[in-house]
Amino acid sequence: LQYTRGTVTAFAPFDARADAEALRKAMKGMGTDEETVLKILTTRNNAQRQEIASAFKTLFGRDLVDDLKSELTGKFETLMVSLMRPAYIFDAHALKHAIKGAGTNEKVLTEILASRTPAEVQNIKQVYLQEYEANLEDKITGETSGHFQRMLVVLLQASRDPDVGVDEALVEQDAQVLFRAGELKWGTDEEKFITILGTRSISHLRRVFDKYMTISGFQIEETIDRETSGDLEKLLLAVVKCIRSVPAYFAETLYYSMKGAGTDDDTLIRVMVSRSEIDLLDIRQEFRKNFAKSLYQMIQKDTSGDYRKALLLLCGGDDE
């Protein structure tokens, strides 16, 4: 799957040694030249950052990530270190940290497993096993429970039907089943929601949502909102939103990470870094359409210092 809607692409002409030298100079001696660090790391793609890290080790016998950690602080440090994480391990690493220690970060489990393609989920499971010598599904089932756990397990199977033609009879049937399981019943038959939302193809489900609206007079989101609660509700809603549009889901995720008092910087960083080479241009478009301001402006208003400069460079432009 070639992604072409990212804001960060391969830098040309690229010289890993020159970049490594510039970074070493920026961090050597008294004080750090943060501007150079952020300019280089936000304008090279992940594959190039890995080359810079290996040139850095070859030239100076030092670990670039360790140097960044010792020279930088706070959210800016977190962002730079996240940019340096190899792309293939990014999601596995985020999940590992979401399920370790006291308390599970359900938000991270929800965001990643609801939005990734089946191929991406298979890849995450493999990488998790290689890197952490543990089975991701076992880890997640050990830390979650109930219908929330079941929906996560269904998503982890990564066996969603492929998108090949839509059977209108099955669309009608699924919409009726969801209607009966949700609106027509005291208590919701969550199993039906989990099975249908977790296994049917994307184009099929988009038709089911339209049909559901026709039958019930409600958007499926409204029913989920009324009939379920807590982590399960958040997960089902995330899945529905991602089926409708992954970029719109991430636009909303970014919006709520900054809206109101305080910023959820972990989410802001994770989404900006993980989508920067995939679909951040589409996310920006959806953001502008749905929230009457640009992502660029919101970041500008909500963050500060080198952290802001780096995020704005990743954002790659204003949509006003």
**Which one-letter amino acid corresponds to residue 145?**
S
**Bond preceding residue 118 cis, omega within 30 of 0:** no
> What is the per-residue pLDDT across 164-213, written as a single tens digit (0 to 9) for each?
889 999 999 999 999 999 888 767 789 999 999 999 999 999 999 999 99
Among 316, 317, 313, which Cα is nearest to 79's? 313
Which architecture, in CATH terms, is 16-87? Answer: Orthogonal Bundle (1.10)
* pLDDT over 70 at 101, yes or no: no
User: 264 by DSSP, 3-state: which?
Assistant: coil
Are 278 and 46 within 8 A, CB to CB?
no
Q: Please, which pLDDT band fits residue 298 given cuts at 50, 70 and 90?
A: very high
* Gyration radius from the chain CA atoms: 21
Q: Which helix (H) or strand (E) holds 223?
A: helix 220-227
> Which CATH entry fits the domain spanning 246-304: 3.40.50.10420, 3.40.190.10, 1.10.220.10, 3.30.300.130?
1.10.220.10
Answer whether 88-157 and 168-244 agree in fold: yes
For residue 164, the model assigns a pLDDT of 86
Domain 168-244 classified CATH 1.10.220.10?
Answer: yes
Q: What's the CATH superfamily of 88-157?
A: Annexin (1.10.220.10)
Q: What is the largest CA-CA distance in the chain?
A: 70
Domain residue extents for the chain: 16-87, 88-157, 168-244, 246-304
Q: What is the DSSP letter of 161?
A: P
